[in-house]
């Protein structure tokens, strides 16, 4: 009998120890788990247990914090942020680029930027109104750098004049990033994100139709040629309606109806239309 009683006592002690270990490992108290209710897991008792006579068994858990880099050495952090050698010089457009009215399509690449931080500071401080260099916010993303280094040499969409006129316009900056986005993703631009495609169309339309002018008309034509150059002919048709609407407001007759015919598609006809518009702008 004594042996049986001792074994029963040992089993009870073992079960109590296991129950205590299970309670300390739970993420919710026993009452909330039994009722299948959401437990706010507050140390010292959850809200549901405090409103009743039940004692909350939620265990106290230790908090862990991530170590912040340079937190123990402030001098090293200050040297890292204030040292100009650690910051790359901004990219700048070359001032010898031809204007948009004098430029004709040339497939040969040409240099359009240079790493010169000194000229950037002098030009931005001495000649703010005639600054041909881009502001720092234009180079926020890798897509914008892709536009300047890869798109502009072979496909001059936006020139220095356009940057000087619209660089303070947020819609223009967003449109510029989307133009680089389409070039960067290539053939996947139409399938990666439909929202980006709709936003591109909305921004280009609002930018051109906000102030009817020859420059805006040329801008929306160049932006519409982006998907056309990638081989997408169907997306050029809705943009053509916007081009015709803006040209009618300016009393300019542009024969663009043949540009969307897939059977008689000719890219040379597209560039002839752009050259005609450039000649009108020059005059």
pLDDT digits (tens, 9 = 90+) for 163-179: 556 555 555 555 555 55
pLDDT higher than 50, residue 147: yes
Question: Which pLDDT value is given to residue 65?
Answer: 60
Indicate the pLDDT class of residue 276, thresholds 50, 70 and 90.
low
If one compares 243 and 262, the residue with the highest pLDDT of the two is 243
Question: Which pLDDT value is given to residue 13?
Answer: 75
Domain range list for the chain = 136-282
Span of 16-20, 69-73, 214-218, 270-274 with lowest mean pLDDT: 69-73
Please give the average per-residue pLDDT across 200-207, as a whole number: 59
Question: Which pLDDT value is given to residue 136?
Answer: 44
- Record the tokens describing residue 157, joined without a space: 């969409």
Please give the average per-residue pLDDT across 196-209, as a whole number: 58
Is the separation of the CB atoms in 51 and 39 below 8 Å?
no
Q: For residue 4, is it left (φ>0), alpha (ψ between -120 and 50) or beta?
A: alpha
Indicate the pLDDT class of residue 17, thresholds 50, 70 and 90.
low
Q: List 93's β-bridge partners, or say none.
A: 113
- Record the tokens describing residue 263, joined without a space: 């059977």
pTM for this predicted structure: 0.29
- Residue 113 phi/psi, 5-degree rounding, is -150, 165
Question: Which pLDDT value is given to residue 162?
Answer: 57
Q: Cα separation of 219 and 98, whole Å?
A: 16
Dihedral angle of Cα 234, 239, 241, 246, to the nearest 10 degrees:
-160
Supply the DSSP string of 129-197, one letter for each residue. TT--SPPGGGGSSHHHHHIIIIIHHHS--S-HHHHHHHTT-HHHHHHHHHHHHHHHHGGGHHHH-HHHH
Question: Which pLDDT value is given to residue 217?
Answer: 72
If one compares 191 and 246, the residue with the highest pLDDT of the two is 246
Q: Cα separation of 176 and 172, whole Å?
A: 6
Indicate the pLDDT class of residue 280, thresholds 50, 70 and 90.
low
Question: Which pLDDT value is given to residue 71?
Answer: 44
Indicate the pLDDT class of residue 250, thresholds 50, 70 and 90.
confident
Please give the average per-residue pLDDT across 97-115, as a whole number: 35
- Record the tokens describing residue 237, joined without a space: 């048709």
pLDDT higher than 50, residue 43: yes
CA 165-171-173 angle, to 5 degrees, is 70
């Amino acid at each position: 009998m004594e042996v049986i009683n001792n074994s029963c006592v040992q089993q009870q002690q073992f079960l109590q120890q296991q129950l205590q270990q299970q309670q300390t490992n739970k993420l919710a108290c026993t009452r909330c788990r039994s009722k299948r209710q959401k437990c706010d897991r507050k140390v010292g008792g959850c809200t549901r247990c405090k409103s009743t006579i039940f004692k909350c068994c939620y265990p106290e858990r230790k908090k862990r914090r991530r170590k912040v880099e340079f937190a123990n050495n402030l001098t090293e952090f200050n040297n890292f942020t204030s040292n100009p050698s650690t910051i790359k010089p901004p990219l700048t457009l070359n001032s010898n680029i031809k204007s948009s009215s004098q430029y004709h399509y040339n497939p040969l690449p040409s240099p359009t930027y240079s790493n010169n931080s000194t000229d950037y500071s002098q030009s931005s401080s001495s000649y703010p109104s005639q600054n041909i260099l881009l502001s720092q916010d234009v180079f926020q993303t890798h897509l914008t750098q892709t536009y300047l280094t890869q798109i502009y040499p072979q496909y001059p969409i936006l020139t220095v004049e356009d940057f000087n006129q619209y660089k303070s316009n947020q819609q223009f900056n967003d449109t510029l990033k989307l133009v680089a986005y389409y070039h960067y993703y290539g053939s996947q631009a139409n399938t990666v994100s439909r929202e980006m495609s709709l936003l591109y169309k909305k921004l280009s339309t609002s930018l051109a139709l906000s102030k009817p002018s020859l420059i805006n008309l040329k801008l929306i034509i160049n932006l519409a040629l982006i998907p056309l150059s990638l081989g997408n002919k169907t997306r050029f048709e809705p943009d053509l309606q916007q081009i015709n609407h803006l040209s009618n407001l300016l009393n300019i007759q542009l024969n663009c109806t043949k540009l969307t015919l897939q059977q008689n598609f000719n890219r040379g006809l597209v560039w002839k239309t752009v050259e005609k518009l450039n000649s009108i702008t020059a005059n």
